[in-house]
Amino acid sequence: MKNKDEVFKRVISHAKEYGFIFQSSEIYDGLSAVYDYAQMGALLKKNIRDYWWHAMVRLNDNIVGIDAAIFMHPTTWKASGHVDAFNDPLIDNKDSKKRYRADVLVEDYVANKIEAKIDKEIQKAAKRFGADFDQEQFEQTNPRVLGYKEKAATILKRLARSLEDENLEDVKALIEELEIACPLSGSKNWTDVKQFNLMFGTKLGASAETATDLYLRPETAQGIFVNFLNVQKTGRMKIPFGIAQTGKAFRNEIVARQFIFRMREFEQMEMQFFIKPGTQQKWYEHWKSHRLKWHLSLGMGKENYRFHDHEKLAHYADAAADIEFKFPFGFKELEGIHSRTDFDLSSHENYSGKKLQYFDPEENTSYVPYVLETSIGLDRMFLAVYSNSLQEEELEKGTRTVLKLPSVLAPYKVAVLPLLKRDGLPEIAKSIVEDLRFDYDVVYDEKDAVGRRYRRQDAIGTPFCLTVDHQTLEDQTVTIRERDSMNQERVAISSVGEMLRKEVSMSEWLKRL
């Protein structure tokens, strides 16, 4: 059994080795918490985005999609509350001069000093009991593990309470009581905890005197709110209706070593659903269950998801929950579902002086709609899919690394491999590629022994390999090998298109939603 750190490291190195994710500007030693998607990663990311977009926009008559600009009028961020309240609690170490997120220091302490002990107990017990080991039962009954869990929960509860109450002195007190040292210098010489705004500022305009201060948007939602009435009128939308959008967001996060879980430039997939005031509870439940269903449709294991209901709510919300996913480093937020009331639209009304109301023709009245939001990070979803899919399998002869991606998301749906580089086999293989490439991302590979080529495709998650051999010349059949089972079957070339449509096409997966 590998520990969490090793699993996470493996995910990061595999993502680099196979062309999924590179550090940004690596030749200059990279830029912290900024990453580039490479040739495989860009395809996987696009497929996740499409799967979300089609599920939200194409499959719903009452949801439309937009693509608003990253730059917005600066007053937007006053109205949204980001200028005044979009902060993280930061603390500096006086000796190393390094800056940390105070809450992350405490969370890391819990993960490294307490949860690591739990992992150790589990590993020891797993070794002792062998095949009979029941991890769940062990975790629920072992007194040492229970003691550690209680300690971790007490610390995290206190942290959450202090943050919610904006009691930054207590956050510092907690860091001191736990004797947390700077990971760099080992020093415990800390400054006070201070709030730090996460928005990136920039300037619009040619000269320093006339330039306007702008922000790079920290969320895509506001582009939807400011366009609410334009879309409603031009699209003749009737409440309830939704506006969806995917796009970049920017946050000056103070983080280390979280790979694409927490980035400074990332992509969100958000949908704001405009509803009649008073119906928010119904729609909150509706979107919670619909979004979970979308996740479960990918077949990544029900046990890897859980809801976390927020007790203390953000200034704009009257109910909120996260869908958490079991990442290599534990359960963490993947998506938020927020009942935002009329906070945003009313606030934009106040700041802009423009009415943002819906005229309800049935009731002959106008009102500011309430909003239900679903907000998921595309990069976080990428990490969820990727880390869940990456597996090492013991085979009779050695091990294989396989990326068991949901086939609808796989970068390449099929690889076409001539068994040999002669006798007309490459020509047939290439003609199959030419047939399939209009519908699917297909790859042709003729280099190395076929076994090695299978392994290469396993490692990038290609669900099917088609091998063209001498029998193909005689009867127009190929061998089709399935990634997960490694089963091989002989099929007619003419049946491949239909088989792929059933197994990997977006439309078939969407029909199962």
Which residues sit at the interface with ligand ATP, rule CB under 6 A?
219, 251, 253, 262-263, 266, 268, 333-336, 375-377, 379-380
Closest residue to ligand ATP, judged by C-beta, is 377
SS (H, E, C) 464-485: EEEEECHHHHHHCEEEEEECCC
Q: How far apart are CA 509 and CA 502, in angstroms?
A: 9
Kind of pairing between the strands at 414-418 and 442-444: parallel
Least CB distance to ligand ATP at residue 141 (A): 32
Task: Give the amino acid at 8.
Answer: F
Nearer to ligand ATP, 156 or 433 (CB): 156
Nearer to ligand ATP, 152 or 263 (CB): 263
Would you list the DSSP string of 295-364? HHTT-S-GGGEEEEE-SS--TT-SEEEEEEEEETTEEEEEEEEEEEETHHHHHHHHHH-----EEETTTT
Nearer to ligand ATP, 34 or 66 (CB): 34
Nearer to ligand ATP, 342 or 373 (CB): 373
Cα torsion through 240, 356, 219, 63, rounded to 10: 20
Least CB distance to ligand ATP at residue 12 (A): 15
Q: Residue 234, exposed/middle/buried by CB under 10 A (0-12, 13-18, 19+)?
A: exposed
Least CB distance to ligand ATP at residue 336 (A): 4
Helix (H, G, I), strand (E, B) or coil at 36: strand
Least CB distance to ligand ATP at residue 385 (A): 13
Q: How far apart are CA 488 and CA 473, in angstroms?
A: 19
What are the distances in angstroms from CA 58 to CA 32, 228, 274?
37, 19, 18
Alpha carbons within 13 A on the beta-carbon side of 146: 6
Nearer to ligand ATP, 247 or 463 (CB): 247
Least CB distance to ligand ATP at residue 100 (A): 15
Nearer to ligand ATP, 50 or 333 (CB): 333
Helix (H, G, I), strand (E, B) or coil at 512: coil
Least CB distance to ligand ATP at residue 274 (A): 19
Least CB distance to ligand ATP at residue 292 (A): 14
Nearer to ligand ATP, 383 or 416 (CB): 383
For the chain, what is the radius of gyration of the CA atoms? 26
